[in-house]
Structure formats: structure tokens, C-alpha cells
Amino acid sequence: MRTIFLFSLPTLLTVASAYCPPTVFLLAGDSTTASLSANGGGWGDGFNATLVPPGVCENHALNGRSTKTFIDNGDWGRLLESAASFSEKEYRVFVTIQFGHNDQKLVDFEEQFKTNLKAMVGDVRGKGGVPVLVTPLARRNFWPNGTLNDILSPWAGYVREVAEEMKANSIDLWKESKRLLEAVGETQARRIDLADGDHTHLNHAAEKVFGRMVADLLVAELSERGRKRLDVRCVVGRNETMSREIKKGVMSF
């Protein structure tokens, strides 16, 4: 005699939503994504701190890298090997790609930058992962009127162009970091410099703020429009106080 279990629709939905697949974020980028060091510090480790099991993060970002040197030096190849390994283990694999600060040094910088980003998007997809293009973190150079003098605006635009052309997921970190920095003002912004005169890299306190900003942007981007396969809310822990303050233009330390 078979036993038949009858579940109500709400119960079925609860059971289905309780499953959270293992998810890995692989971070590609320059020093504004990389771990805190003497010559760099970015949002990457702050983002890692927001994750909860079964969420995993590998920060592959390195100081001084452009899209070109990240590829030429083998850093990108190592990240792709990791992506393939996690895919084989049935992880959901997301690869964030944030460059721009050092790509101004390229010979034909605009076209090389966009060409490299397109290749990176294709490479990640080829390894079974989901690429997420990230506009560069804003620099903290202020005009006397309190607005940012940030030459990275064109680079943010190039990232948006590639994301649209490649139909890739993207988050606008440049826009959101610029908005927050202009809201808090230059005096507050100086409190997050890695060292005196360093208006690019983040200290430990800022790493947490911008790591939370990236986490919130990724949740919004990867949980929209019913794309449940991409939903990352179950591996990104909440900090409603910090998220609310960031939206209001406040940085707490």
C-alpha cells in the first residue's frame, strides 16, 4: 500500500524556496576591487563579508591591472580555470568584471577596453558562468562646488555599451559611488582614503561600505524580472541599516 502525501500550494512554495544552490562569485579587477594592501584596497573583501553559506567568493583582482595586463599575465586564465572547476561541481558561477582605472594606459584605450570586455563576457559564458560587468569605482577628487572631478565617466559609459551589446548583466558602481560620495562631501570622503593623498583606494572601513553597495546592487540586478535561476538573495546576507544609510547618502563607520 502506497502512502500519498498531499501538500498545499503554500507548503510546496515554502519547500521549493528553501533550496539555495551553492553559489560562487569570482572577482576580476584592479586594485579598487582587490584585497587591502600597502598599495591598494577595494570593495572585494567587503563584499565577501556579506555572503552567507552556501555563498563563496574568490577575489582574483590585483593591483595595477588593466583588462590587457589581467589577460596577458595569466590572471584571467586562472580565474577561468576556477570558474570551470566550480561549474563542474554544479555551483552557480558569477564573475564580476571591474576595470577602467588602469586601462587609460592602453594604446588604443577605448577600443581595446571594449574588445577585452566583450572577450571576457564570452569566456565566462563558455565556462558555464554568468558575467556581471561593473562600472569602475569613482575616484574621490572634488571640485570646489562639492561635485566629483572624476575622469572615469567615459569608462563607465564604455562598460554600459558593452553590457547592452552583449546582453550581459551589469551594475553601475560608478554612478552609485559617485552619488554617495557627493552626498557625504569631501570632508567625510577623506576619512576613507587608504593613505593621505590617495583618493582612489579604500581603507578597511570603506571596504565594508562599498562591499555592501556592490552586494545590494548585485541582489537588485540578479533578482529582477523573474530570473529565478539567477536569484542570489539567499547567499547575500542583509544589513538593512547600512543599506538604508547608503541609499540616503550616509556613510557610517
Whether residue 76 contacts residue 123, with contact meaning beta carbons closer than 8 Å, is answered with yes
Does any domain span residue 9?
A: no
Does any domain span residue 3?
A: no
One-letter identity of residue 137: L
What pTM did the predictor assign?
Answer: 0.90
How far, in Å, CA of 92 to CA of 25, rounded? 9
Nearest 5°: the CA angle 127, 91, 47 is 95
CATH code for position 168: 3.40.50.1110
Does any domain span residue 12?
A: no
Does any domain span residue 241?
A: yes
Kindly give the confidence (pLDDT) of every residue in the chain, 253 residues in length, as a single tens digit, with 9 standing for 90 and above. Answer: 333 333 333 333 333 345 799 999 999 999 999 998 877 899 999 999 999 999 999 999 999 999 999 999 999 999 999 999 999 999 999 999 999 989 877 667 888 999 999 999 999 999 999 999 999 999 999 999 999 998 899 999 999 999 999 999 999 999 999 999 999 999 999 999 999 999 999 999 999 999 999 999 999 999 865 555 678 999 999 999 999 999 999 987 6
For the chain, the domain total comes to 1
Tell me the three state secondary structure of residue 147. Answer: coil
How far, in Å, CA of 69 to CA of 62, rounded? 10
Does any domain span residue 108?
A: yes
Does any domain span residue 218?
A: yes
Query: Which domain, by its residues, includes 144?
Result: 22-248
